[in-house]
Amino acid sequence: MALATAGLLGSAALTRAAISEADAARLGKELTPLGAEMPGNADGSIPAWTGGITAPPAGYKVGDHHPDPFATDQPLFTITPATAAQYESKLAAGHLAVLKAYGDYKLTVYPTRRSASRPQRVYDATRRNATTAQLISNGNGISGAIVGVPFPVPQNGLEVVWNFLTRYRGVAATRHIDQAAVERGGGYQLVKLEDEFLFNYTRPDITAKELESSNVLIFFKQATVAPARLAGTILVVQETMDQVKEPRRAWQYNAGRRRVTRAPNVAYDNPGTAADGQRTSDQFDMFNGAPDRYEWKLLGKKEMIVPYNSYRLHSGKIKNADILKPLHINQDLARYELHRV
């Protein structure tokens, strides 16, 4: 588990040689191909990883909402403000805070399903990266890694962060987003966004030399399509790998002015797009961008109750109004499981 705390990063332990061949040989044996623990835990509440979901469910067509493969699972227990103390050691600080703040908040915990999987080429690349990947530029960049996880056996918090920033999400993707800042009384206006990605890091033909020379992890375009007052705004980003050496290249087209301008403020803790000041730029996708304004500490590994396999929340049968409620989302639709973090 990596913890980010405000502050500048010191220079110690930020450049490290790749792990030994002996450590790398653990991948696919006692560790999964990406570096997680393969066996289950002592009491069986976390099962062994057996490969995850590797094929589409019967009847699935590209573009469909993902069918829930665990729809028949029954909850094991529910954590409420009254019982939060009982599970404190397995809850994140954020969950403990919202349980304390909101009397109706709850976490419904289901059986643990280790459903995660990646294509074989990602596993193969991870095995190669394990003995070649290095932190460079005072931890603000990486070298010797492409396609797979750079640091499957991480030794510090920055390596965990780079594993997240380079995680496999396909090669190209399009997604449609409904974003809302819900008011205290429950009112909201949907902001509709269309995102397009090209993940340069995971291209099948990418080489480490090309990646490092271009210094681009991701090509990204975001178009705002609603409401009318924001529609037509377009953001284009080339997500640089070492953003201290070369800040992300960003441009914005303003439909009202019909002009394209550079957008250097789309970074760090500047306000996120059309989020009414409730999100910062580096909170997009949980965290993105340069890691240099935080101190990252590797606290170790522990069992925690976390959101997982949340198929119901993106079911085609669920409407925005079913999810968006005052103060927090509808927790009846959320699913939590016990996993190693």
Q: How far apart are CA 308 and CA 315, in angstroms?
A: 15
Q: Are 36 and 115 in contact (CB under 8 A)?
A: no
Alpha carbon of residue 316 to chain centroid: 22
For residue 67, whether the previous peptide bond is cis, meaning omega lies within 30 degrees of 0, is no
Q: Are 254 and 124 in contact (CB under 8 A)?
A: no
pLDDT score, position 15:
53
pLDDT digit string (tens) for 122-177?
999 999 999 999 999 999 999 999 999 999 999 999 999 999 999 999 999 999 99
- Which phi and psi (to 5°) does residue 37 adopt? -70, 130
Please report, as a single letter, which amino acid is at residue 301. Answer: K
pLDDT digit string (tens) for 225-260?
999 999 999 999 999 998 888 989 999 998 888 999
pLDDT digit string (tens) for 19-38?
889 999 999 999 999 999 99
94 band by pLDDT with thresholds 50, 70 and 90: very high
pTM to 2 decimal places = 0.90
pLDDT score, position 99:
98
Mean pLDDT of the chain: 92
Alpha helices in 166-238 (DSSP H): 208-214
Tally Cβ neighbours within 10 Å of residue 285.
11
